[in-house]
Structure 1
Amino acid sequence: MIKHISISTFINTIFSIAVVAIIITFALFINLDKQRHQIVQKNRYEMIADNFLSVFDKNPSKTQLNSLYKQFKVKLIKDRQKKLKILTLGEELVMRRTYLGTYRIYLYNSEYYLYTQQFGYNLMIEDLHSNRYNIAIIILLLVLSLSTLLFLYIILKRKLFPLKYLDREITKFSKGDLNICIKTDSNDEIGEIAKNFNTAVALIKNQTESKKLFMRNMMHELKTPITKAMFIAETLEDEKSKQMLQKAFKRMDDIIKELATVERITSKTSVICKEPTSFFNIYKKTLEIMMIDSSNLSSKISDFNFDVDSSLFSVALKNLLDNGIKFSKDKKVTLIANQKRIDVISNGKKLKNNLDYYTEPFSQEEKRADGFGLGLYIVKTIVHMHGYKLKYSHKDNKNYFSIILVSHFS
């Protein structure tokens, strides 16, 4: 589960847990420290009470009592009203009877009082020593700890902030934007990643431009002589030689066209231009570029509207129909289309390999003179660019190549 959360969320969670842990720790510490404080105060007053009761047993003089008051930093409460309030309203913490006498410890208005009783002695003593529990230092330590944690959190977030910027730029790059440059002044690991990424982008951009230039020049340079050669072939009187040359040049022309299509659909900078259209319009455009005899194709179309790149989708459908006709036993193919799926059906044996094998460039069942192994690769790429799925199945001695539209139709 930890693998699937972002670094930012992970850091927020860790620091949140740390804050809660610190607060709970201090709360427990305060509770335990208060108990310790009460025990210390109780022990102090028990010691004072024992000393006073021991002295009472010897009938001390006023001077001796004053000496005890001074020694233990306490004073005698002479105000009768105050004594009554302490006895009636104060919280009695301890009451103990010994062979020397009785003493009680009271808590009143956050102050501790000692009440001792023995024959002829009945004294209420107030502690002059600072006995209030001081929480200020602990609160100060808590604030200091939380402030330190917050400071570390801010520093860490600021340190990792470039990762968000880096992520945004990489996302742009993945969508085909090669005109990006990550600006960074840091020399840490993130800065190194950014610099290496900029270098990689520049290299890929140069290679892409070189590939484009090469493909365009190559196709342009080949197209002209092929056209001239086909024109010259038309002038030959030997019909057999004429047909052989025309077939060879037609094959070369087809290779150039398919390479141009592959270059377009595989280019990271290419953008498909979707537009609302009907499937019947796509079908008509496909027939125009196929130029086949209508006897080879039967169709059952329930027309529907969807958003596609008309030129690209027509190429994909053309390649599926071409494959069906080329590799079927009777050189015929059936097209069934509705708003959920498009099926191209032909008679033939089941494919020896799974569909992924044939959708790789230059993959064929066997070497053929009339194919380049790019047809299904082009189909799959175009279908995926539109967000659809390409599937294959075989039943009743028929091959089914299907484009699944499902949630993408309108």
Structure 2
Amino acid sequence: MTFALGLLPAGLLIFGLPIFVVLLAASVIALAFFMNIPMNAVHQNLFGAISQNGLLAVPYFIFAGELMSRGTVSLRLVDFIRSIVGRMPGALGVTTVGTATVFGAISGSSAAAVASVGKVMHPAMQEDGYPKSFSAGMITSVSAIGIIIPPSIPMIVYGASSETSIPRLYAAGVLPGLLLAGVLALYIMIRARLGGFGSSNRASLGGILRAAGRAIWALGAPVIVLGGIYGGVFSPTEAAAVACFYAIIVTRYVFRELSWADILNCATTTVLFSAQILVIVAAAGLFSWVLTVNQIPQSMVAWVVSLDVSVWQFLLAVNIMLLIWGCFMDPLAAILLLTPVLIPIVDTLGIDKVHFGIVMTLNLAVGLFTPPFGINIFVAQSALGMRAADIYRGTLPFFAVFLALLALITFVPEISLFSMNLMMFDS
């Protein structure tokens, strides 16, 4: 059993097999050779894992993000935020942070933010004197805010895996996401002042109003989605469906940038991307069931209890583990694989599952821009036309900022829970 559930998955991962193949192979071999359970349990658990209402929001949010990421949405957001922060040192860098944050609230995708925001902001920052590596590292790393600010697809998957309220997770993600954006903006301002790059433009009320007029339809998406969820009008799944309808209206009839053929193309892309996610969800559901039947989580709980570790020691160990895992594995796969093992220990130690979900998401957000397999780095390499080594170098200072905020949010749970408690969710 140790071979099937431990050594085999590790070996298959080393050889570079897709994560769903790794999980499926390990589960099937465990059932076939080590467990006295009929093989029809395989398809029952595969389909059972994706038969959750909460997961319906995933393809909806992907589709809405695909629609809004095409055309001039990112450019409109850039113009609006730049009109507000025009007089700040490092205004273009601050604009990049603000745009990535708002774009994340529209699409829930970090990679989409890198591509869309990067193509607009990187050339502008080069003209403004920003070091090339620094600006590329900035775009690559700050776009990771997209999976922390709701609507976050990793939070949906974590909520479904851990049986945690998705509205609560969304509410808890607002303050850490905004705090992270604020600290990143502050660092960029200090770096720009010390480095003597990044000019300031005079802000004017007229300029802000004009830019707001151009961006108001783009800004409406997160307002409708998050306002609907927090106001109790929509469930997350219903809000995702409304976001799709809103995105079609805006991109097809208001901005008039997408044809029906373009919308169909977005739908095709959504189907393919959703299939990639859901096949991992299905395989991870089967693997989690096999672990549970063999009482692996219970054994882990007993082992941790026997060590007599404190909450802070456990959270420190989990942070280190997740930072390492995030370097090699997609956030969704890591959440699906690790959540069933960690949640029983979290419950035993009395850690709030919402707070733990935010810690887990932030950890894996860091993995999006760390070598060797950070997806944001590969997207930036393609979108910006730069060498991966130069992008790696540019992400280092932002990695330090993320780590500092990760430590603060991990060991001060009130930061994650404040906005959730303020909204008094009962769901």
TM-score (norm 1): 0.24
Greater share of residues in helix:
2
TM-score (norm 2): 0.24
Task: Choose 1 or 2 for highest CA Rg.
Answer: 1
